[in-house]
A and B are shown apart, each in its own frame.
Chain A
Amino acid sequence: KAGVTQTPRYLIKTRGQQVTLSCSPISGHRSVSWYQQTPGQGLQFLFEYFSETQRNKGNFPGRFSGRQFSNSRSEMNVSTLELGDSALYLCASSFVLAGGVAYEQYFGPGTRLTVT
């Protein structure tokens, strides 16, 4: 089956601009999570969407927002970009077990965002 796809793969933006990243999950996966990864920082959780609703949110400022569409595709938006937003943004999709656990996340290749 097709994997998780993210577009674009690379992006260069200027401070103050905004950016929208897109994620297409594996067919049948209804949970989509977004992460920020920087060297030495590990995975920082941004938010998770499940059935078009934000189920969980990490400790990021309100400049970071997201949404999920009825086909489970998800977008992430960052407004008023700062230099510190330069990072790899990973999207992961998963099947949700009957009890609610998002099982075995499949990660996309990521979008490398550079803010200058």
Chain B
Amino acid sequence: GQNIDQPTEMTATEGAIVQINCTYQTSGFNGLFWYQQHAGEAPTFLSYNVLDGLEEKGRFSSFLSRSKGYSYLLLKELQMKDSASYLCAASDSNYQLIWGAGTKLIIKP
């Protein structure tokens, strides 16, 4: 079956760095997405990786290893507004997005 695993909850300190991991098993693979969802709001797109390696976008970076079925989202210089759920989703051979349950990130001052 198809599956996405990511930690349920993580806690980090304002100003620090946090890495949210995601492992996936899909029938075929057409890329890995990360979304951010604040409480009570709809998800918003953060990144898309289809090739191995690191993609950097400001304070956020996303990494992909296709051979290991593994991705991570790296958040630097954490701010209180980064408190949110982070959703990992993989696109399978039919271009269907398989979603993880999300990682709730709590930022403490």
Nearest-CB residue, chain A, relative to B92: A56
User: Looking at B31, B42, B100, which has the most chain A CB atoms within 10 Å of its CB?
Assistant: B42
Check A103 for interface membership: any CB of B closer than 8 A. Answer: yes
- Report B83-109 CB contacts with A as 1/0, cut-off 8 Å: 000010001001111111110000000
Knowing A108-B42, A109-B42 are in contact, say whether A43-B96 is a contact too (CB < 8 A): no
- CA gap between A48 and B94 in the complex, in Å: 11
Check B19 for interface membership: any CB of A closer than 8 A. Answer: no
Q: Name A's B-contacting residues (CB within 8 A).
A: 33, 41-45, 48, 55-56, 90, 92, 99-110
Instruction: Report which of B30, B96, B99 forms a contact with A42, defined as CB distance below 8 A.
Output: B99
B43 touches A43 (CB 8 A): yes
A interface, over-half SS: strand
Check B44 for interface membership: any CB of A closer than 8 A. Answer: yes
Residues of chain B from 41 to 86 with CB closer than 8 A to chain A in the complex: 42-45, 48, 50
- CA gap between A52 and B96 in the complex, in Å: 16
A101 touches B30 (CB 8 A): yes
Instruction: Report which of A33, A42, A104, A109 forms a contact with B87, defined as CB distance below 8 A.
Output: A42
Q: Name B's A-contacting residues (CB within 8 A).
A: 30-31, 33, 35, 42-45, 48, 50, 87, 91, 94-102
Q: Tally the A-B contacts, defined by beta carbons under 8 Å.
A: 54
Instruction: Report which of A44, A99, A107 forms a contact with B30, defined as CB distance below 8 A.
Output: A99
Nearest-CB residue, chain B, relative to A56: B96
Q: A101-B50, A101-B91 are in contact. List 9 more A-B contacts (CB 8 A).
A: A42-B102, A43-B87, A45-B96, A45-B99, A55-B95, A104-B33, A106-B45, A107-B42, A110-B42
Nearest-CB residue, chain A, relative to B50: A101
Least Cβ distance of A7 to chain B in Å?
A: 15
Nearest-CB residue, chain B, relative to A43: B99
B48 touches A104 (CB 8 A): yes
